[in-house]
A = this chain, B = another copy of it.
């Protein structure tokens, strides 16, 4: 695709040769001839001078020297996303139909324009909405109800009675509805299982990452709100409630019955004690250990998690302990002098 054709599609002000052929996408430092790249994060500004890309997108107000064609746009980041779609192979189209190797119970209700790929297993009582795609090797347990336009990647397991809204995407290997981790010890310390009788309910426009685990409720439901985005390898325990439009980064762990509000941003590898509440529009730093309620619109970090400014102050105080010790030592010497 020629650079001129890209400009025709996405707009912007071109400086340089629009006739150059664009064949790939790359970061400034990785680019080779034929690639188009972009500068958005100022962290990478110094890389533009040495890039081997054939064209670079920058924000309209960028100034500097560029060794190749330059395209000024309102937002280099969002324009580059459009270029990426133009240049990249289209998404896989799985088509429609049920593969001969899929094992589908007799009473399953399948909507229109659905694809159920090789080796999928769909148990009795399942309802699958229109335009759903189950790619391969998925397990859909008894009486699961799935809305329209869901995309279920290979090896996903959805256990019995889970409910999915519309436009839910679940990536490979994720497990929805596994038993919650519930046991009571007897006097000898032997654990006895507490039956996990509830379900998982997932709203609309939810995306769940690879190898995520979301446990069914002890009773009632574990609830994932609308628009929630969950990164890979996250653990969501029984009876957790995740509010609408909250995003959870990889390897975070949320203990039983915690309520995470709406529009919360949860950092990677952070952990949450059971039964706590996190307010709307709050943020939790990576690796934070949240042991008590978090007020709305608050950013917490550290272990135990606290207001980020307080945590940063604590850290600074620790870093300055050698100086504090030196001051105490100086005082001690002066004291000795005074006493002597």
The residues of A with any CB-CB pair to B shorter than 8 Å are 24-27, 30, 41, 43, 78, 80-81, 84-85, 87-89, 92, 99, 101, 103, 117-119, 121, 123, 135-137, 139, 141-143, 153-155, 157, 159-161, 171-173, 175, 178-179, 181, 183-184, 189-191, 193-195, 197-198, 207, 209-211, 213, 215, 218-220, 227, 229, 231-233, 235, 237, 239, 245, 247, 249-251, 253, 255, 257, 263, 268-269, 271, 273, 275, 281, 286-287, 289, 302-304, 313-315, 317-319, 321-322, 324-325, 327-328, 331-332, 334-335, 338-339
> A99 to chain B: which residues have CB within 8 Å?
103
Q: Measured between alpha carbons, how far is A195 from B83 in the docked complex, in Å?
A: 11
**A88-B197, A172-B157, A250-B235 known; A229 vs B41 contact (CB < 8 Å):** no
Question: A189 contacts B219, CB within 8 Å?
Answer: no
Question: B335 contacts A324, CB within 8 Å?
Answer: no
Q: Measured between alpha carbons, how far is A302 from B26 in the docked complex, in Å?
A: 33
Question: A247 contacts B183, CB within 8 Å?
Answer: yes
> A251 to chain B: which residues have CB within 8 Å?
235, 251, 253, 271
**A245-B190, A319-B314 known; A253 vs B269 contact (CB < 8 Å):** yes
Q: Measured between alpha carbons, how far is A135 from B160 in the docked complex, in Å?
A: 12
Quick one: copies of this chain in the complex?
Answer: 3
> A157 to chain B: which residues have CB within 8 Å?
153-155, 172-173, 210
**A27-B220, A103-B118 known; A178 vs B171 contact (CB < 8 Å):** yes
> A178 to chain B: which residues have CB within 8 Å?
153, 171-172, 209-210, 232
> A327 to chain B: which residues have CB within 8 Å?
328, 332
Question: B119 contacts A103, CB within 8 Å?
Answer: yes
Min distance, Cβ A127 to any Cβ of chain B, angstroms: 16
> A249 to chain B: which residues have CB within 8 Å?
181, 255
Question: B315 contacts A304, CB within 8 Å?
Answer: yes
